[in-house]
Amino acid sequence: MNKSITHLSLVVAIIATLMTSSCVTQDEGKIPSEDKQTKDLKIPLNFDWNMSEEIVCEVNAETDATISLYLDKECKEDLLTETNVTPGTNRIEINAPKGTKAIYTKYTDNKNQQHQQESTVESSKSTVNVPNDAVIAVPETNYYNTLIYPANWGSVMFEDLFPALGDYDFNDYVMNYQIYLDYGTTKEYARSMRMSLYVNAIGGSLDYEPYVRIIGSDASNFNFETTYHPNGLFIRNNTKKGVSVDKVAATNELVLHFKNMHGNPYANAASFYNTVNGNVTKIDELTQVTVYLNFKEEIPITELKDKNIDIFLANGNRSKEIHLRGIMPVFNQYDFTQKGISKDVPYASENNLVWAIKIPRTIRHIVEKADFSKAYTQFANWATSGGYENPNWYIRTNNPLNYDANLLIRWGR
Ligand SMILES: [Ca+2]
């Protein structure tokens, strides 16, 4: 008797479980964690929050040819590299968003016809075949013999209350960046670098400023170029106070301090910088800085990859820093004993929340007081799945709708 009751309740339990799971399936379009705030998400502790990967492209060429590799099918927007290849296998390492399924090659043939072809990406590898009628062509872009990442610019977004958890609007400091590497004598080396940066928004009130460190670099190997750009700088829309970039002698590594990157003269008066709709600069009014760096000796490209580009914040007296998850600070000792933070991983909370994210694409940041998971409705699922689900959460789509337009900044007045 007891036995059959146990059986019965087991059956009921199984049916109940099945019903629950089918409900979950049905509700997927509605985003199960809709009511959860970002700060309450349960993130797998080993999730590294990384959104990009290195892909090895083996370019098998039958002849000398000029090729361009793109992320977009039309070969127009998202240029990864433009360069010449030689007969045989040419190895080109690119940086692409995680989940990239294909890359696209453009070349010109000996009848001056352009070709675009798709190469699938599997296990971070792709094979590109360049036929024998391809030719050396006049460079099509201004970036000939250059490796570019992220192809469509990248974004770095900060919460600034570290070590306390923030409110997760991820708009306390928002920057866009792009790196250009000019190939050296081979495609495994670079001879120079350009780094472009602009500040999209500051929704925090602390005195943080942006810095860039190249992890593991040797600062004495870098020269600011002066031939075309005084002090190695090109500045679009300088601020009233004047932008400057200083080399900081903190470690042997190259560390750059970007000063007065906001305060754009076109900005309307507002308590925050570009986080309240209506009170924003326009995107083409933002201050953009490009730093030109020549290398005394060529540097292996493996040492200049995106994971080595540490874009971080430090306050006025450099007593506080905020970095991406897993990166140790520059000016200070990291205190793993602080309340609520991971005992093993710098800049991760005990629940593996982070204070900075790097996205391999431009993204509209969110307005004041909004929650990031509500603005980008696939973000929570991406983070709680350890990055396996919705890897493209930051690319806005209308079908399915994966964002709330009311919570995103509008670049207009
Ligand atoms: Ca915040």
Report the pLDDT averaged over residues 350-365.
Answer: 97
- For ligand 1, the distance from its centroid to the CA atom of residue 160, given in whole angstroms, is 7
Report the pLDDT averaged over residues 231-257.
Answer: 88
- For ligand 1, the distance from its centroid to the CA atom of residue 207, given in whole angstroms, is 14
- For ligand 1, the distance from its centroid to the CA atom of residue 165, given in whole angstroms, is 9
Provide the b/e sequence for 380-411 (b: ≥16 CB within 10 Å): bbbbbeebeebbbbbbeeeeeebbeeebbbeb
- For ligand 1, the distance from its centroid to the CA atom of residue 303, given in whole angstroms, is 32
Q: Which one-letter DSSP state was computed for residue 202?
A: B
Tokens 């200070």 correspond to: 332
pLDDT at residue 328 is higher than 70: yes
- For ligand 1, the distance from its centroid to the CA atom of residue 162, given in whole angstroms, is 10
Least confident span in 24-33, 124-133, 289-298, 377-386: 24-33
What is the model's pLDDT at position 209? 95
Long-range contacts of the stretch 332-338 (C-beta < 8 A, 24+):
338/163
What is the model's pLDDT at position 269? 60
Cβ distance 183 to 145 under 8 Å?
yes
Report the pLDDT averaged over residues 4-20.
Answer: 43
- For ligand 1, the distance from its centroid to the CA atom of residue 37, given in whole angstroms, is 13
- For ligand 1, the distance from its centroid to the CA atom of residue 250, given in whole angstroms, is 28
Q: Report the candidate in 258, 288, 53, 282 with the shortest Cα–Cα distance to residue 150.
A: 53
Q: What's the pLDDT tens digit per position in 191-214? A: 999 999 999 999 988 999 999 999
pLDDT at residue 357 is higher than 60: yes
pLDDT at residue 319 is higher than 80: yes
Distances (CA, A) of 410 to 225, 341, 361, 404: 36, 34, 17, 12
Q: Classify 315 in phi/psi space as left (phi over 0), alpha (psi -120 to 50) or beta.
A: beta
- For ligand 1, the distance from its centroid to the CA atom of residue 64, given in whole angstroms, is 52
How far apart are alpha carbons 403 and 372 in whole angstroms? 10
What is the model's pLDDT at position 1? 39
Provide the b/e sequence for 5-33 (b: ≥16 CB within 10 Å): eeeeeeeeeeeeeeeeeeeeeeeeeebeb
Q: What is the mean pLDDT of the chain?
A: 89
Cβ distance 47 to 383 under 8 Å?
yes
- For ligand 1, the distance from its centroid to the CA atom of residue 337, given in whole angstroms, is 23
The pTM of the whole model exceeds 0.85: yes
How far apart are alpha carbons 308 and 279 in whole angstroms? 35
Backbone CA torsion sign across 289, 295, 299, 303? negative
- For ligand 1, the distance from its centroid to the CA atom of residue 368, given in whole angstroms, is 8
What is the model's pLDDT at position 262? 80
pLDDT at residue 35 is higher than 90: no
The residue that leads in pLDDT, 331 or 244, is 331
- For ligand 1, the distance from its centroid to the CA atom of residue 373, given in whole angstroms, is 13
pLDDT at residue 15 is higher than 50: no
Q: What is the 3-state secondary structure (H, E, C) of 105-162?
A: EEEEECCCCEEEEEEECECCEEEEEECCCECCCCCCCCCECEEEEEEEEEEEEECCCC
The residue that leads in pLDDT, 8 or 340, is 340
Tokens matching residue 30? 């509605």
What is the model's pLDDT at position 18? 41
What is the model's pLDDT at position 23? 39
Q: How many CB atoms lie within 10 A of CB 64?
A: 13
What is the model's pLDDT at position 361? 96
Kindly report the backbone phi and psi dihedral angles of residue 141, in degrees, each rounded to the nearest multiple of 5, phi listed first. Answer: -115, 175
- For ligand 1, the distance from its centroid to the CA atom of residue 260, given in whole angstroms, is 21
- For ligand 1, the distance from its centroid to the CA atom of residue 328, given in whole angstroms, is 22
What is the model's pLDDT at position 229? 73
